[in-house]
Amino acid sequence: MDCYFGSYELPEDSPTEKSAVVAFHIPQVGIRFKAPFAGADRTHTELASLLALLEFIDSNQKYFSNHTFQIYGNSLPVVNYMNQREATPEIFSHLLERALDYREKYRFSIEWIPARDNPLYEDLLD
């Protein structure tokens, strides 16, 4: 089962005090999630998006118990952190540790895709 995560930065003049929208999409089961988020920077919002997806998977095993799943995101730094190809900034190490704990628990793969191929952006601004 393919799962996608990503975020979208909100304009500075946005009426909300949030800086971004975090989102994930699981097309096979028709799940779309998006929520405003006050992130410190782009890395923070992308990690928050991945963790939102992983927490959903963890608490909704009825969709995943008989399936393997792959995760795709267009944040190359986050994918590299998860695949331990790049060192995580210390400020976000606790978030990465949580994500790696989920990876050990569920044994998923995580790969980079270009933003244009990430289906969660198709209806992100609805």
Q: pLDDT > 90: what percent of the chain?
A: 64
Rounded Cα–Cα distance for residues 70 and 28 (Å): 12
The residue segments making up the domain with residue 112 are 2-121
Rounded Cα–Cα distance for residues 110 and 83 (Å): 7
pLDDT tens profile 12-51: 776 677 888 999 999 998 999 999 998 888 899 999 999 9
- Within a 13 Å sphere around the CA of 51, how many CA atoms are in the beta-carbon half? 17
pLDDT tens profile 72-91: 999 999 999 999 999 989 99
Contact (Cβ atoms closer than 8 angstroms) between residue 73 and residue 24: no
Answer whether residue 126 is part of any domain: no
Answer whether residue 85 is part of any domain: yes
How many CB atoms are closer than 10 A to CB 92? Answer: 20
Under DSSP, the state recorded for 18 is -
Answer whether residue 35 is part of any domain: yes
Under DSSP, the state recorded for 74 is S
The model's pTM = 0.90
Please report the pLDDT score of residue 122 as a whole number.
75
Under DSSP, the state recorded for 87 is P
**Least confident piece of the model among 13-17, 63-67, 104-108:** 13-17
Rounded Cα–Cα distance for residues 37 and 70 (Å): 24
Rounded Cα–Cα distance for residues 57 and 102 (Å): 9
Answer whether residue 70 is part of any domain: yes
DSSP for 19-44, written as a single string:
-EEEEEEEGGGTEEEEEEE--SSHHH
**Over residues 98-106, mean pLDDT:** 94
Structural domains of the chain, count = 1
Please report the pLDDT score of residue 121 as a whole number.
78
Scan for tokens 């994500």, then name that residue.
99
Provide the CATH number for the domain around residue 16. 3.30.420.10
